[in-house]
Amino acid sequence: MPAFEAVDPTLYFVNDLDGAAYWGEWSTQDVNFSSPDRNIGCGILGDDAAQPLLWGCAIATKDWTFPTDDPNDYCYNAQVPCGGGIEASGAELPDPRYRSDPGFPGAVVTGMPDAPIRVLEYGQSVTFNGVTCYSEETGITCEHAGSGHGFVISESRNDIR
């Protein structure tokens, strides 16, 4: 992996954004960011102690889908749209994201160029509560340090590991 500029995670807290009024009652000290093209929105929420750790990304425009044909497929027979992103709880293996999954500001603003959410620029990384996300022109990569689980998400691919 190329060298990335590590950025201060507190710069990505929603309550520190200039547009904090946009979020109403959402006041959090969790990391939320958007890709530079605003197509991907991500969040790293909680700490696994007082609040369960949730991390993942939503995507607005993509040219892939998760499989749904086999009963072993995560999105098989989903009652709500499935596969609009990838997320994980704690150190678990990430899964496709259901539309009804808990929201976070980074996911809410995908595809909204004027929404008040900070951008993780290409070549930067942010680490918060054991999860590191990297921004590249080819997509966003997030990894959990303890388990090694993670994912890559972009308009052209998704890779869960």
pLDDT in tens, 32-59: 999 999 999 999 988 777 788 999 999 9
Start-end of H helices in 9-147: 105-108
2: exposed, middle or buried (Cβ count in 10 Å: 0-12, 13-18, 19+): exposed
Residues spanned by the domain of 12: 5-160
The pLDDT of residue 102: 55
pLDDT digits (tens, 9 = 90+) for 132-144: 999 999 999 999 9
Domain count, the chain: 1
The pLDDT of residue 13: 85
91: exposed, middle or buried (Cβ count in 10 Å: 0-12, 13-18, 19+): middle
pLDDT band at 14 (very low <50, low <70, confident <90, very high): confident
Per-residue 3-state assignment (H helix, E strand, C coil) for 64-97? CCCCCCCCCCCCCCCCCCEEEEEEEECCCCCEEE
Distances in Å between the Cα of 153 and the Cα atoms of 11, 14, 52, 94, 158 are: 22, 22, 23, 12, 5
The pLDDT of residue 18: 55
Percent of the chain with pLDDT over 90: 52
